[in-house]
């Protein structure tokens, strides 16, 4: 993978539904449309996402037997005009080391690392993205955050989308898991907490039903653009702007 995410190739005119964007699609459809359909808003990254990319790359290299290349990491931050390189690198080192101690050195090695998968549920639409790791029948997603998480609620939509894609690529997926690597506290402490649960098939059914409705909404807007204002309202109460 390196320091850039896998790109999912689609045919011209097709619409890509990224698993990481689906929570916004369901929660703040107007903002999602502006970003992913109209291209009016573009997210180019920030210091938090750059830290996540560096940590993902280190984890990948850990499993592949590669070496940490700090010159490459600094070059990546330079290229992306990171605002506080010092702070990013200062957080990266203890977070990675704690991940190795609490997870990497203890858990089975994934059978797949940074795999890019896609599935077309209907003509003109592709759902696809890069999956951090798969261990047996479990999807693993590495997450960085400022505080520990006690449930998978914030990540569930993305994880179930991955499970849906993989199942339609012939893989057996029965569990989803997030390895939450928490940024250093003011005392310099770093925590790694693992959130894991078996797939709830009823939730999966509801997810697929809602996904089908979103596809219908996009199609209807293309056929009747005058309905866009009604179908794609912004949610001013959503933090997914």
Please give the pLDDT value at position 1: 47
Residue 8's pLDDT band (boundaries 50, 70, 90)? confident
Query: Cα separation of 90 and 180, whole Å?
Result: 18
| CATH number at 15-225 | 3.90.320.10
- For 22-59, write each residue's pLDDT tens digit: 999 999 999 999 999 998 877 677 899 999 999 999 99
Q: Which candidate, 131, 138, 126, places its Cα nearest to that of 116? A: 131
Specify the pTM: 0.92
Which residues are CB-neighbours of 140 under 8 A, at least 6 positions away? 110, 132, 133, 134, 177, 178, 179
State the Cα torsion 135-18-220-210 to the nearest 10°: 40
Instruction: Kindly write down the DSSP assignment for every residue of 143-182, as one continuous string.
Output: EEESS--SSSTTTHHHHHHHHHHHHTTT----EEEEEEEE
The radius of gyration of the chain's CA atoms, rounded to the nearest angstrom, is 19
- For 150-191, write each residue's pLDDT tens digit: 889 989 999 999 999 999 999 999 999 999 999 998 888 999
Domain positions in the chain: 15-225
């Amino acid at each position: 993978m390196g320091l850039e995410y896998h790109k999912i190739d689609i045919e011209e005119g097709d619409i890509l539904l990224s698993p990481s964007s689906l929570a916004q699609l369901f929660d703040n459809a107007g903002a999602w449309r502006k970003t992913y359909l109209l291209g009016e808003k573009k997210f180019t990254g920030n210091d938090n996402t750059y830290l996540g990319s560096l940590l993902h790359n280190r984890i990948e290299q850990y499993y592949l037997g590669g070496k940490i290349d700090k010159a490459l990491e600094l070059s990546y931050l330079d290229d992306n005009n990171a605002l506080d390189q010092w702070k990013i690198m200062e957080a990266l080192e203890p977070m990675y080391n704690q991940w190795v101690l609490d997870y990497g050195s203890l858990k089975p090695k994934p059978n797949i690392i940074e795999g890019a998968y896609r599935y077309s549920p209907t003509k003109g639409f592709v759902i696809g993205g890069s999956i951090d790791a798969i261990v047996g029948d479990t999807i693993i997603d590495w997450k960085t955050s400022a505080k520990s998480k006690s449930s998978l609620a914030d990540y569930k939509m993305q994880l179930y989308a991955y499970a849906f894609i993989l199942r339609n690529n012939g893989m057996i997926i029965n569990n989803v898991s997030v390895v939450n690597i928490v940024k250093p506290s003011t005392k310099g402490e770093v925590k790694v907490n693992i959130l894991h649960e078996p797939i709830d098939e009823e939730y999966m059914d509801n997810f697929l039903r809602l996904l089908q409705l979103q596809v219908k909404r996009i199609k209807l807007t293309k056929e009747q653009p005058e309905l866009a204002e009604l179908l794609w309202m912004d949610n001013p109460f959503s933090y997914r702007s």
